[in-house]
Amino acid sequence: MLLSLPNWLIHISSSLEWGIASLMMYRYGMMIGRKDVQRFGLFMIPHWVGSWFVLAYHVSGDQVPVLLDLSETVNLFGSMALLYASLNILKTTRRKGSAKILAAAGIFLISGRPQSYMGEDIFDLILQISSLVYLSFLVSLVIIRKRDPEVFSRMTIAGFWFVVVFISVTVSLMYVSSEIRGFPTLSHDDLLHGGAESLLTISNMMIIIGIHRQIKRFEKGQMASSPMG
């Protein structure tokens, strides 16, 4: 296996954090009595499943490209699921009207990436579509926050947006690792690989903290409005 123990801990931590965030979002939806928020929590699960395919890929020593392909494919459907869930939330917000998203979306083109079993063209197409869908999802979060602050805290939205930072830095480090430091892939460069993955851990933790704040805010409101409060 290419990853060191600290790097493995970072990878496993980021995956577990996303799963915890999904459960917390579902629980928060139950607390406030909103099925659309509950569904949002459930629709975070595909990305969580995709992260375990990445872990399996690293367990194989990056020798089973189909695992990476499966991860990217699942993440594409995960991004579509999140966008669908956010659009459903928009339909229930106080302001009535269209839930169309006008997203100025950029596309991340990953160079120097690991070999793909599906072929480079298909792999790149999946990445591009997934990036476009995810950025549209990010725009929808901002609109939801403006219309109904009860659903997402600023910290949670910032956490989802921070994924863009993770991807951008990862792409840059892939170039540095291969072209400047001389490693075959980023996975072989344990230092830069761990540094990039730690940004995803930060992103997921921001999402968790944001959901936790919303739960605590709701609980305080319930206590204040209760007869014993």
Which whole number is the average pLDDT over 141-155? 94
CA dihedral 141, 147, 149, 151 (to 10 degrees): -60
* Residue 94: pLDDT over 80: no
Q: State pLDDT tens for residues 40-93.
A: 999 999 999 999 999 999 999 888 989 988 998 999 999 999 999 999 999 887
Q: What is the reported pTM?
A: 0.85
At 73, give phi and psi (nearest 5°): -65, -45
Contact assessment for residue 158 and residue 210, using Cβ atoms and an 8 Å cutoff: yes
Residue 153's pLDDT band (cuts 50, 70, 90): very high
CA atoms of 17 and 77, how far apart (whole Å): 20
Q: What is the pLDDT of residues 168-212, one digit of tens each?
A: 999 899 999 999 999 998 989 999 999 999 999 999 999 999 999
Burial (CB count <10 Å: 0-12, 13-18, 19+), residue 229: exposed
